[in-house]
């Protein structure tokens, strides 16, 4: 059971890292300093960007729940 949990946790961690790295990088602090703050406020996530954003939220929650599950598995 613990081996399966470790395997699933590793897969979720790798997918979570990939989903964070794939996201648009111009929406952070560097965009606000670079003068793109006005454009940043008016945009909405669409298409693949929205899917990656939602997937990263789901993977983050799964990562935390799996981390907590390690406490209860002998």
- pLDDT tens digit string along 5-58? 999 999 999 999 999 999 876 555 555 565 555 555 556 778 888 899 999 999
**CA atoms within a 13 Å half-sphere pointing along the CA-CB vector of 26:** 11
By the 8 A CB rule, do 49 and 24 touch? yes
- Domain map of the chain by residue range? 2-72
Whole-prediction pTM value?
0.72
Measure the CA–CA gap between 53 and 46, rounded to whole angstroms. Answer: 10
Determine the pLDDT at residue 45. Answer: 75
């Amino acid at each position: 059971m613990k081996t399966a949990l470790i395997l699933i946790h590793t897969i979720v961690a790798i997918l979570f890292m990939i989903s964070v790295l794939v996201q648009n990088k111009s929406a952070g602090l560097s965009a606000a300093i670079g003068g793109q703050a006005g454009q940043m406020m008016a945009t909405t996530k669409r298409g693949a960007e929205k899917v990656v954003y939602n997937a990263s939220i789901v993977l983050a929650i799964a990562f935390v729940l799996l981390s907590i599950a390690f406490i209860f598995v002998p």
